[in-house]
Amino acid sequence: MRIFVVVALLLALAGGVVFYLQSSPMGQAPLGALLSNDAQAIVKMGQTFMESIQYKDFKSAAQFSLPEQKATLDIPVLIERLFQVKPEMMDMNNIQVLSHDFDSSGDRARLRMQADVKFLNSSELRKPEVILYFKKLPDGKWYMDFASSIK
């Protein structure tokens, strides 16, 4: 009887951990992102960037760019060039982090993401994968390299 209670408690604990991870922002990230602060940083930045685009908050999306790119960055134009449709005609949902990796120096990273994109002018649904590129500057902060990511 005691073994049954112990097994039931372990299963309940495991279920609680799974529920917590799935309801937290990191729940959609690969398991390795839970272990590394740098991985957590780029996953959070990537999710926030994609959510900003989802809600057409391009000023917020631009905050992650490298300092030298901020002056010339026009995200709506980049999205239009990428998808061949104005951003207002896109409905983005179900944003997911698929994977992430770092180079050997630990100062560059890639984040592979996917989202459901419905084009409102044609009702076409696509599931494009996007790779976002990040650089860690000497100040220790991560920035998105839009020149590599979207252009």
Find the length of the chain.
151
For 75-107, write each residue's pLDDT tens digit: 898 888 877 888 899 999 999 999 999 999 989
pLDDT tens readout for residues 15-27: 776 666 555 544 4
Spell out the domain ranges in the chain.
26-149
Give pLDDT, residue 56. 92
**What pLDDT sits at residue 35?**
61
Using alpha carbons only, give the angle 79, 26, 22 rounded to the nearest 5 degrees.
Answer: 110
Q: Half-sphere exposure of residue 144, counting CA atoms within 13 Å on the CB side?
A: 27
Q: What is the pTM assigned to this prediction? A: 0.75
pLDDT at residue 148 in the model:
67
- Quickly name the fold that domain 26-149 has: Nuclear Transport Factor 2; Chain: A, (3.10.450)
Instruction: Report the pLDDT value the prediction gives residue 137, as an integer from 0 to 100.
Output: 92
- Identify whether the C-beta of residue 33 lies closer than 8 Å to the C-beta of residue 40: yes
**107 or 10, higher pLDDT:** 107
Query: Of the candidates 63, 138, 131, which has an alpha carbon nearest to the alpha carbon of residue 100?
Result: 131
